[in-house]
Amino acid sequence: MRYAVLCSRVRVEEKLLFDALDRKGVPFDRVDPRGLAVDIDGRALAAYDGVLVRCISHTQAYYLTRWLNGLGIRTVNSHETIACCGDKLLMSLAFHRAGLPTPATRFGFDEASMLTALDEMGYPAVLKPVHGSWGRLLAKVSDRSAAEAILEHKKTLGGVLHSVFYAQEYVEKPGRDLRTLVVGGEVVYGVWRASDHWITNTALGGQATLCELTAEQRELSERAAGAVGGEIVAVDLLESADGRMLVNEVNHTPEFHGSVQVVPVDIAGRMVDQLLEQGEENP
């Protein structure tokens, strides 16, 4: 069996995944999506028994997995998972259908109606683009004046990124949030991500420490992964001031450079094992 790792940039995570594949004696090729000119009737990647998707670009991952899955080639994660996780609104709807506890959420397309919704939800609130990662373009708005300014800017900028207004309640977390990795429906580890900033992503400087997960945290993580159909996903949980755990997001291409130093698990090896297990189940 031979596999492909679909990635444009080789980061720490991809290097670790390549090493894990080599250690386990798994034949694989790195495929750079930037070098593909796809014939939609062709089967350029049909020789592979599975494709591990590590694209930084959501657009590349979205369209390539749709094409590959349509040809019957299995990808990890699937097109359905990537499509859901790459759109915060679709993800929120999936969480709602699964009955998961989440921050209060509003969305809309008109400035006036969205301002009314924000007034009803209360300040502070968080405005997010429906597409995006690494904590980019998130805005914590403290009052109506700030919300008016940001919504006006988004409307003026236009384009797909700013055409949908998406807002959530601001959760006063204790300087940290919880990220878990779920592989094959089971939690592999959890880390607290701490920062002085209200955005705790490790991409923006958040520091990871190992978390001894509770049964509730494990259950919420596994249910969140199941809600989006994820095979290898990271789940972000928020700890509210009153002790509730809320599901915030699921990431379909989890980064783990901030976790490898504190987690006593071969993270890349566990991901590869999942890829191989599923490949054997789906010859």
Task: Tell me the pLDDT band of 120, cut-offs 50, 70 and 90.
Answer: very high
Q: State the chain's mean pLDDT as an integer.
A: 91
Shared domain check, 244 and 164: no
pLDDT of residue 281: 47
pLDDT of residue 179: 95
283: pLDDT strictly greater than 50: no
Task: Tell me the pLDDT band of 273, cut-offs 50, 70 and 90.
Answer: very high
**Beta partners for residue 106, in sequence order:** 167
Residue 98 resides in a domain: no
CATH number for position 47: 3.40.50.20
Find the DSSP H helices in 98-190: 111-121, 144-157
Average pLDDT over residues 154-175: 86
154: pLDDT strictly greater than 60: yes
In angstroms, the CA 76 to CA 55 distance is 11
Domain count, the chain: 3
Say whether the peptide bond before residue 248 is cis (omega within 30 degrees of 0): no
pLDDT, one tens digit per residue, over 44-62 is 777 899 999 999 999 999 9
Percent of the chain with pLDDT over 70: 93
Shared domain check, 164 and 181: no
pLDDT of residue 212: 96
Q: How far is CA 16 from the centre of its chain?
A: 19
Shared domain check, 186 and 210: yes
Task: Tell me the pLDDT band of 282, cut-offs 50, 70 and 90.
Answer: very low
Shared domain check, 52 and 24: yes
pLDDT, one tens digit per residue, over 250-266 is 999 999 998 998 999 99
Task: Tell me the pLDDT band of 8, cut-offs 50, 70 and 90.
Answer: very high
Task: Tell me the pLDDT band of 197, cut-offs 50, 70 and 90.
Answer: low
Shared domain check, 266 and 189: yes
CATH number for position 138: 3.30.1490.20
137: pLDDT strictly greater than 90: no
Average pLDDT over residues 9-36: 97
Q: Are 82 and 58 in contact (CB under 8 A)?
A: yes
Dihedral pair phi/psi, residue 140, rounded to 5°? -90, 115
271: pLDDT strictly greater than 70: yes
CATH number for position 254: 3.30.470.20
In angstroms, the CA 102 to CA 80 distance is 21
Average pLDDT over residues 175-197: 91
Shared domain check, 201 and 139: no
pLDDT of residue 202: 56
Supply the range of the domain harboring residue 138.
104-169
